[in-house]
Structure 1
Amino acid sequence: MIRKTLDGLYTAAGVLAALCLIIILTLIVLQMLARWTGEVFPGAPDYAGYAMAAASFFAFANALMKGSHIRVSIVLNALPPRGRYFLEIFCFAVGTAAAWYVSYYAYRMLGFAIKFNDVSQGQDATPLWIPQSTMLVGMVILAIALTDNLISLLVTGQHRIVRDVTDSQSE
């Protein structure tokens, strides 16, 4: 039950990231149309920037679980299995701690934006808690994914990262 929920969370975050990319495309096309017709679309670059940040943070956990993050496999492959195991534990522990640390400070930053009614500097004057909340949610999902992998590695000896692409050299 928990496994399905977590995998669904990572997939949902990936879908949200893809939707943010579609929003960016739509905003760019609308801004182009506005320019061609002589109209003004105030705030379009700002909204595209917010969607870009949201897409990035929502994609982190999904990319991790699909094996799309950069890993230094050359070092891991050079180590014996026991050394590899301990290095992976170390890396996941550091990554997990860093992700939760960033999540905490993103939460504090969001709190300050709400407390001080902070708005963007652009023409749109968007309340900053809106784009900052997407950053916080994406970062928390990444922290959960790293914690999930660390616990899985400690309990079963294997992390849950699965590569999407097949390596032609392994055949």
Structure 2
Amino acid sequence: MRAFLDKLYNAAGYAAAFFMIGTLLMVVAGIADRMFALGWRGTDMYAGYSMAASGFLALAHTLKRGEHIRVTLILHAASPRMRHALEIWSHGIGAALAGAFAFYAMRLAYQSHEFNDISTGNDATPLWIPQIPMAIGAIVLFIALADDLVLELRGRRVALESEEAVHSE
């Protein structure tokens, strides 16, 4: 199961990188369109969709690498027992919030599909299409937080801290 979860988090990270490249390509296409009047519609909207997809898909991958912003001042000052309790509390709350967000993100994409909701921009994209990566990113973040919670409850979670966080405190 651990190998599958690690592959899931890495796949989400690779998908985020793919959409980040998509953002770059759409920005370059928009610049080319303005310079040469190519008539390409919606490049700004597609850049936004790609940027949102990249951000949401990167959440779980970033969490599992210890790169999310965390306020560790209290954790470092707490006893090991208190730190364990605080980690359980924070991962439990985080998983609950991520689960609610994932549910409503899936519901939004479904309703957008059902109501044939389209973008108000000049691209007229069905909104459920760019909402799917947001929902997938929220689901994978929920899985990652629930995974960390279970590991913390079992006493097997290894708390990773980024090099930047270590040097800034």
TM-score by length of 1: 0.92
Task: Tell me if 1:126 matches 2:120.
Answer: no
| Length, aligned pairs only | 167
CA RMSD of aligned residues (A): 1.5
What's the offset of the Cα at 1:6?
Answer: 0.3
Q: Secondary structure at the match of 1:27?
A: helix
Structure 2 spans left out of the alignment, 5+ residues: none
> Contact (CA 8 Å) 1:61, 1:145: kept in 2 or not?
yes
Task: Tell me if 1:6 matches 2:8.
Answer: no
- Give distance in 2, aligned partners of 1:107 and 1:80: 40
What's the offset of the Cα at 1:28?
Answer: 1.0
Q: What are the Cα deviations for residues 72-107 of structure 1, in whole angstroms up to 9, with x where unaligned?
A: 111100100000000000000000000001111111
Q: What are the Cα deviations for residues 51-86 of structure 1, in whole angstroms up to 9, with x where unaligned?
A: 011001000000001111111111100100000000
**Structure 1 match to 2:55:** 56
Stretch moving more, 66-75 or 135-144: 66-75
**Structure 1 match to 2:78:** 79
**Structure 1 match to 2:93:** 94
**Structure 1 match to 2:36:** 37
> Contact (CA 8 Å) 1:28, 1:44: kept in 2 or not?
yes
- Give distance in 2, aligned partners of 1:160 and 1:26: 38
- Give distance in 2, aligned partners of 1:163 and 1:65: 10
Task: Tell me if 1:150 matches 2:113.
Answer: no
Letter of the 2:148 partner, please give it. Answer: N
Q: What are the Cα deviations for residues 31-56 of structure 1, in whole angstroms up to 9, with x where unaligned?
A: 11122212222100100110011001
- Give distance in 2, aligned partners of 1:65 and 1:140: 14
Q: Secondary structure at the match of 1:126?
A: coil
Letter of the 1:91 partner, please give it. Answer: S
Letter of the 2:54 partner, please give it. Answer: A
Structure 1 spans left out of the alignment, 5+ residues: none
**Structure 2 match to 1:165:** 163
> Contact (CA 8 Å) 1:57, 1:138: kept in 2 or not?
yes
> Contact (CA 8 Å) 1:106, 1:135: kept in 2 or not?
yes
Q: 1:108 to 1:168 in 2, by over 3 A?
A: closer
What's the offset of the Cα at 1:115?
Answer: 0.9
Identity of aligned residues (%): 41
> Contact (CA 8 Å) 1:65, 1:161: kept in 2 or not?
no
- Runs ≥4 in structure 1, deviation > 4 angstroms? 166-169
Q: What are the Cα deviations for residues 106-140 of structure 1, in whole angstroms up to 9, with x where unaligned?
A: 11111210110111101111001101111000000
Q: 1:75 to 1:168 in 2, by over 3 A?
A: closer
> Contact (CA 8 Å) 1:64, 1:161: kept in 2 or not?
no
